[in-house]
Chains A and B, each alone.
Chain A
Amino acid sequence: MSINLEREKVTLPLEEVVQTKTTMLTKVLYGGMVVSMLAAFYFIFLYAEIEKTMGVVQKIFYMHVPSAWVAFLAFFVTFVFSILFLIKRKRIYDTYAYVSAEIGVVFTTIVLTTGPIWAKSSWNTWWAWEPRLTTTLILFFLYMAYLMVRQMDGVWDKKARLAAVFGIIGFADVPIVFFAIRWWQSKFHPIVFGDGPSQQGGGIAPSMLVALLVAITAFTFLYAYLLHKGVSFENMKIKVGHYKEKLRERLEH
């Protein structure tokens, strides 16, 4: 049922496959990303006040939290498109799920590298096996496995189905990562918003909140830009693959 899903659409001339023109959406996303990123740097370094206890090291927070947000968003998008793929079996949904998972892994890597730097400066240890850190590491490995499934040999739709199941199951870890410090005792990881069993949310100064929100906006634009670029590239790759197949058939006969 799901085999050769888009084969009927492969009769494109090569010129049509090779789309080198920059679309309006690409320009908007790129512009939005550059402007919001510059604004984020202004708000982080010139507008937001310096935290009294930690000093300037606290500014890692403005890269760490938006990266975590983008990773969660990316895995959510993978989750949604994996479900859509399993229901409708359209390759475009699988492409969105794959590209989004890859971006999610990139941003989880950022979270897992900036986190220990923060930890060393404030907790005097690079790593602690506490709930938030452990569940984030599990999340990273889950989606690494997802990407490895994509690299396997075999028919794409079988890989896509298996990856979609991974994408759906893997997402179960996202709320666990988020609520880990609110559900379980955590001596290290601070709660900023809301309360946990062992600590109360410390809140955040208004200027810091503004800087954080601008940084989150900038990272969201970056995610949207990368997703858009990645999906158009993957589509082009698929079309070139089909074109190759057609060409081989033609040359053989």
Chain B
Amino acid sequence: MIKFTNVTKSYPRSGAALDRVSFHVRKGEFVFLTGHSGAGKSTILRLVQMAESPTEGEVRVSGFSSRLMRPRDIPQLRRRLGVVFQEYRLLRDRTADENVAFALEVTGAKRQSISPRVGRLMAQVGLAHKARAYPEELSGGERQRVAVARALANDPLVLLADEPTGNLDGWAGEGIFKLFQDINAMGTSVVMATHDLDLVRRHPKYRVIELNQGAVVFDSAAEPRTSGSA
């Protein structure tokens, strides 16, 4: 599903963001990506979306390889990924359901199929009653639910979440996490970057990949490594 092989990513100015990172996320897996800010979590998520390409090594996502990727293939890859951000990234001039419908409209969904699909998605994230509300009329947790509904619009194989609970209080955050669990239970892989260690500890059955200064320092699916950042 997602396979990183010796991936190094360095930027001309700030230097190495990832250092020989390798891991493999299988279909249906739930993975926490942890580490301090700047450890490389967001870089990994950007590489998965092929918004950037690795300096060295290879990223493979759902049959697409970073080595062979052509720019015009990127939209096809993105349609198989759902992405959720800490800051929601909803369009302010559209209602909740319009935000979700937008993802379908711009990827060429049939017009008549959009409305029922949006209705189902809003129900799935528990916001059917706020479908006509604008983002500013919604709480943080509700906004994130809309963002999740949008991420699910194209039936992704993987849900990528970058600190999805970072702006939410404990209760709302727990609600979003519960939503991710439900989504995962239906077969969608989830990769969630977070520095909320409490949350990670409360769910020990999920895989944890810990990053430090761009290197994988711990992967609960593999033998624990103690080599630290080389």
Q: Do A and B come from one complex?
A: no
